[in-house]
């Protein structure tokens, strides 16, 4: 039990560290956060990577949850079972994954 707890902390720390080096907050207007821009290639075990999110994409929604603050961005990045994401890619809005 104790080992599982320690492992969970270590894994969550790794996601947090990767999150900060691979994303930056993005704002369309003003200072309100409207998404996260992916600045580096994502690791293959990241749920967003599995959906097809690429370097340069701006992720604005994951599984119906808008990326409006740092906590939402962190949770979206760490969600290894994400089903859908809405991204801006080269100025166009694209839905990746489950489109329902």
Domain hosting residue 20, numbered range: 2-97
Report the pLDDT value the prediction gives residue 12, as an integer from 0 to 100: 41
Indicate the number of domains in the chain.
1
- The strand pairing partners of 38, in sequence order, are 23
**Cβ contact 24:39 at 8 Å:** yes
**What are the tens digits of pLDDT across the range 13-67?**
433 334 455 555 566 556 666 888 888 888 888 889 999 999 999 999 999 999 8
State the CATH number of the domain containing residue 70.
2.30.42.10
Q: How far apart are CA 75 and CA 81, in angstroms?
A: 11
Task: Write out the DSSP string of 41-83.
Answer: PPPTTSHHHHHT--TT-EEEEETTEE--SHHHHHHHHH-TT--
Report the pLDDT value the prediction gives residue 57, as an integer from 0 to 100: 92
């Amino acid at each position: 039990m104790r080992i599982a707890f320690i492992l969970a902390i270590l894994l969550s720390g790794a996601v947090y560290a990767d999150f900060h080096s691979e994303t930056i907050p993005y704002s369309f207007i003003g200072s309100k956060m409207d998404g996260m821009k992916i600045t580096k290639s994502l690791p293959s075990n990241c749920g967003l990577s599995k959906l097809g999110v690429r370097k340069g994409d701006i992720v604005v929604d994951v599984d119906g949850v808008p990326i409006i603050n740092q906590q939402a961005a962190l949770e979206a990045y760490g969600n290894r079972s994400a089903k859908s994401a809405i991204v801006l890619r080269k100025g166009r809005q694209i839905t990746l994954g489950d489109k329902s």
